[in-house]
Amino acid sequence: MAESSEALKAEIRELTARVEEHGYRYHVLDAPTVTDSEYDEMFRRLSRLEQEHPELALPNSPTAKVGGPPVERFATVRHTLPMLSLDNVTNPDELADFEQRVQRFLKSTDPLEYVVEPKIDGVGVELVYEDGVLTVGSTRGDGTDGEDITQNVRTIRSVALALRRDGAPVPRLLAVRGEVFYPTEGFRRLNRQREEAGEYVFANPRNAAAGALKQLDSKITASRPLDLFCHGMGAVEPASFASQSDFHARLRDWGLKPVPLTRVCRGVDEIVAYQEEMEGRRDGLPYEIDGVVVKVNSLELQRRLGQIARSPRWAMAYKFKPRQSTTRILDIQTQVGRTGTLTPVAHLEPVQLAGVTVRNASLHNMDEIERKDIRVGDTIVLERAGDVIPYVVRVVEEERDGSERAFAMPVLCPMCGSQVYREEGEAAYRCVGLSCPAKLKESLKFFGSRNALDIEGLGEKLIEQLVEKELVADSADLYSLGEETLASLERMGVKSAQNLIRELGRSKDTSLARFVTALGIRHVGEATAKVLAEHFGSLDGIMGAEEEALTEVRDVGPEVAKSIAGFFAEPGNRRVIDKLLAAGFRLKAEAPAEGALTGLSFVLTGSLATMSRSEAQKSIVALGGRVSGSVSGKTDYVVVGVDPGSKAAKAEELGVRVLDEDGLRALLEGGG
């Protein structure tokens, strides 16, 4: 027994070393010497032995990259030294000013040596190694204190859990700064999957990286293809290098991955040439970069230059222009949404933009088309500011030859032939058709969506068939569909028909709020439906309320009240509701949750990096808070994400407290 245990120990030691070595060659050096399947084989064998003999597993085994038990919240950790931010320039003149400032400060006219690096569009982190072992990983936070995400960074394949000791001597303390990023290909895959599952898609790889990194359950982080490039240092004791480029070389010795494609440059011209070269290579890189970072190479000079405000004097970001392409508008067509809104969409000559082929671009509404004077046949400039959705920046008027045609909204709905009208003071044109198939399809999709009745199996393809074959004319008809009819549809079978019928049956046991949401009343989303349900307590109560009474409900303004009253005044809508109730709906009115946020009213604006808005909303409501759609004097907090709308300005105007995402998180976690 003792013998075999010795042999086992030896095998585990040997396997651990091999997996570590080949992982390093693969993830850090990008130069594997065994095939993927050979590596997988060793990895699996090691994991199995460790599982069977946990007492023999070595600390920091490379198999520990699968994540640990979930945590309740992240602790706060102080950085070894403050994590600063970068100033940025956008053209060669500003860059020349930077160089002059540096020279003036150093009282020197000699050309200085700089290191230039790609600016990785990811999430900044600090990793602390004590005696060569990774002890803490943290987010930037406010620059002084960050969140302790050690569990999560440990799951990143290229993050060494222990530094290699076969090269440069390992310092007693080494704080490395770097950028966690979501590789572009993995990002596209993630968004495709999320879209298919009907989930919120990330606007850009940076948000996806932030989302993955801030998971309380590190197993989720482990399942994402996150990667890390190192670009700087915090405290290092003792420091054994004199320049930024020395430091990069040391990183590789220690088994860490420095930012690739760095170069030593002298003077502005070389830096500009480098920046332009990187801009040209940008779309071919497997990760997002949004500019380059210029750093004075000598650490001694960096020390002398120091910092001003929150930025070092020795470094500067030199950003790229947003990515643009030009193409031609072949046609403009209109799409009809759930509430009948007609959205004009430009069909484009396919064009490559930021690595993807773009064929369509929404033109949003008629005002936008008129403001930019967009015509069919126009050559246009498209832009994607690192985000997924491309938009038309402007028309290239010089390219016009007179054959361009102005676009007019159709007078009749392209889907059902009903009248199209535009309400005064509104940008949107709407189809009035009660049974417009496009509206019907969208409203059925909404009816079954997650925040409404959450009917699994009621997918887009099925809805299309149901509407086109005229099997349903409204949502209530779903409840009289027979198994045979459903089973006979394309991509369906007896099993999926039975499942759907079961799901439909289950959906009748729901809350009043979800039911009201599912009706798809204009301006009434999940949050307003909830408020209405709480206020009136019954469907009859809501249906019977006069416009006047509705305005008295908190967060319901005159426009929303009008929409609600108008909806229930419509005999067709009442008939559908009667049919639904006859199908056996049982509605539970909910008492509002009680918690730390009881009595507080929130408005969310802009997109959040680490949670979807509906997740944020749920968390607020779960603690007793309310979320409303518009800012008023009654609002307690406005939560501002990226690209906030006019609501942020409104908040300022009304003196309402504004929170950023971290602030919201602090409140939710009871720390704020």
CB of 124 to ligand IVH, least distance (A): 3
Q: Which of 8, 64, 86, 589 binds ligand IVH (CB under 6 A)?
A: 86
Check binding of 117 to ligand IVH (CB under 6 A).
yes
Greatest CA span in the chain, whole angstroms? Answer: 91
Please report how close the Cβ of residue 119 comes to ligand IVH at its closest, in angstroms: 4
Q: Is 119 in the site for ligand IVH (CB under 6 A)?
A: yes
| Spatial distance between the Cα atoms of 289 and 304, rounded to a whole number of angstroms | 29
267: left (phi over 0), alpha (psi -120 to 50) or beta: left
Among 119, 319, 445, 530, the one annotated catalytic: 119
Question: H or E segment at 174?
Answer: strand 173-181
Nearest approach in angstroms of CB 87 to ligand IVH is 9
Pairing between β-strand 601-605 and β-strand 637-640 as defined by DSSP bridges:
parallel
Q: Please state, in angstroms and rounded to a whole number, the distance separating the CA atoms of residues 413 and 340.
A: 9
Cα separation, 90 vs 411, whole angstroms: 46
Binding mask 258-277 for ligand IVH (x = CB under 6 A): -x------------------
Cβ proximity to ligand IVH, 240 vs 307, nearer residue: 307
Stretch touching ligand IVH by CB under 6 A, among 114-122, 336-344, 432-440, 615-623: 114-122
In the complex with ligand IVH, the residue whose CB is nearer, 272 or 549, is 272
Rounded-to-integer distance, Cα 513 and Cα 181, Å: 39
Identify which range of 79-87, 556-564, 588-596, 638-646 contacts ligand IVH by CB under 6 A: 79-87
Nearer to ligand IVH, 293 or 603 (CB): 293
143 three-class SS:
coil
Residues 286-305 that bind ligand IVH (CB under 6 A): 293
Residue number, 232 or 255, with CB nearest to ligand IVH: 232
3-state secondary structure 357-382: EEEEEECCCHHHHHHHCCEECCEEEE
Choice from 34, 81, 84, 487 touching ligand IVH (CB under 6 A): 84
For residues 49 and 180, which CB has a smaller minimum distance to ligand IVH in the complex? 180
The Cβ of residue 421 has, within 10 Å, a number of other Cβ atoms equal to: 13
HEC assignment per residue over 284-301 = HCCCCEEEEEEEECEHHH
Residue with the CB atom nearest ligand IVH in the bound state: 124
Q: How far is the CB of 19 from ligand IVH (least distance, A)?
A: 29
Other CB atoms within a 10 A radius of the CB of residue 95 amount to: 19
Nearer to ligand IVH, 85 or 339 (CB): 85
CA distance 605 to 132: 44
Active site residue 119: yes
Could you say which of 85, 451, 630, 632 contacts ligand IVH (CB under 6 A)? 85
Nearest approach in angstroms of CB 208 to ligand IVH is 16
Site for ligand IVH in 460-519 (CB under 6 A): none
Task: In angstroms, give the least distance from the CB of 23 to ligand IVH.
Answer: 24
**Three-state DSSP state, 574:** helix
- CA-to-CA distance for 164 and 254, rounded, in angstroms? 5
Least spacing, CB of residue 336 vs ligand IVH, in Å:
43
Q: Which of residues 1-40 bind ligand IVH (CB under 6 A)?
A: none
Which residues, 176 to 195, sit near ligand IVH by CB under 6 A? 179
Q: Which stretch binds ligand IVH (CB under 6 A): 34-42, 84-92, 218-226, 572-580?
A: 84-92
φ, ψ (nearest 5 deg) of residue 7? -65, -40
Pick between residue 21 and residue 87 the one whose CB is nearest to ligand IVH: 87
- The pair phi, psi for residue 496, each rounded to 5°, is -70, -30
Query: If 0-12 CB within 10 Å is exposed, 13-18 middle and 19+ buried, where does residue 36 land?
Result: exposed
Distance CA 583, CA 480 (A): 8
DSSP 3-state assignment of 598?
A: coil
Q: Which stretch binds ligand IVH (CB under 6 A): 116-124, 520-528, 536-544, 657-665?
A: 116-124
- Nearest residue (CB) to ligand IVH, 117 versus 404: 117
Name the segment binding ligand IVH (CB under 6 A); options: 78-86, 268-276, 413-421, 476-484.
78-86
Q: Of residues 317, 381, 393, 543, which one binds ligand IVH by CB under 6 A?
A: 317
Of the candidates 227, 262, 266, which has an alpha carbon nearest to the alpha carbon of residue 246?
262
Site string (424-453) toward ligand IVH, x via CB under 6 A: ------------------------------
Q: How far is the CB of 661 from ligand IVH (least distance, A)?
A: 17
Per-position x/- string for 241-260, each x denoting binding to ligand IVH as judged by CB under 6 A, each - no binding: ------------------x-
Nearest to ligand IVH of 313, 439 (CB atom): 313
Place of tokens 């049919």: 579
Segment near ligand IVH (CB under 6 A); pick from 5-13, 113-121, 547-555, 556-564: 113-121
- Residue 308 C-alpha from the chain's centroid: 32
Minimum gap (Å) between residue 289 Cβ and ligand IVH: 8
The answer to whether 273 touches 166, Cβ cutoff 8 Å, is: no
Contact segment (CB under 6 A) with ligand IVH among 17-25, 83-91, 131-139, 151-159 equals 83-91
Q: What are phi and psi of 495, to 5 degrees?
A: -60, -50
Within 13 Å and on the Cβ side, how many CA atoms surround 185? 4
Regarding 231 and contact with ligand IVH (CB under 6 A), the answer is: yes
Q: Smallest distance from the beta carbon of 199 to ligand IVH, in angstroms?
A: 28
- Distance from CA of residue 407 to its chain's centroid? 34
The size of the interface with ligand IVH (CB under 6 A), counted in residues, is 15
**Looking at 315, 453, 476, 492, which residue binds ligand IVH (CB under 6 A)?**
315
Angle CA 218–222–223, to nearest 5: 120
Of 258 and 520, which has the nearer Cβ to ligand IVH?
258
Contact region with ligand IVH (CB under 6 A), list: 310-318, 341-349, 351-359, 584-592: 310-318
Which of 530-563 are b and which e, b meaning 16 or more Cβ less than 10 Å from the residue's Cβ? bbbbbbbeebeebbebeeebbbebebbeeebbeb
Q: Which residue do the tokens 């609501």 mark?
A: 647
What's the alpha-carbon Rg for the chain, to the nearest Å?
29
Give the Cα-Cα-Cα angle 157, 160, 165 (nearest 5 degrees).
Answer: 145
Contact at 8 Å (CB) between 99 and 266?
no
120 binds ligand IVH (CB under 6 A): yes
Residue 473 burial (10 A CB sphere; 0-12, 13-18, 19+):
middle
Task: Specify whether the CB–CB gap between 396 and 378 falls below 8 A.
Answer: yes
312 contributes a contact to ligand IVH by CB under 6 A: yes
Supply the minimum distance, in Å, between the C-beta of residue 291 and ligand IVH.
9
Kindly list the residues in this chain that would bind ligand IVH in the complex (CB under 6 A): 84-86, 117, 119-120, 124, 179, 231-232, 259, 293, 312, 315, 317
State the catalytic residues. 119
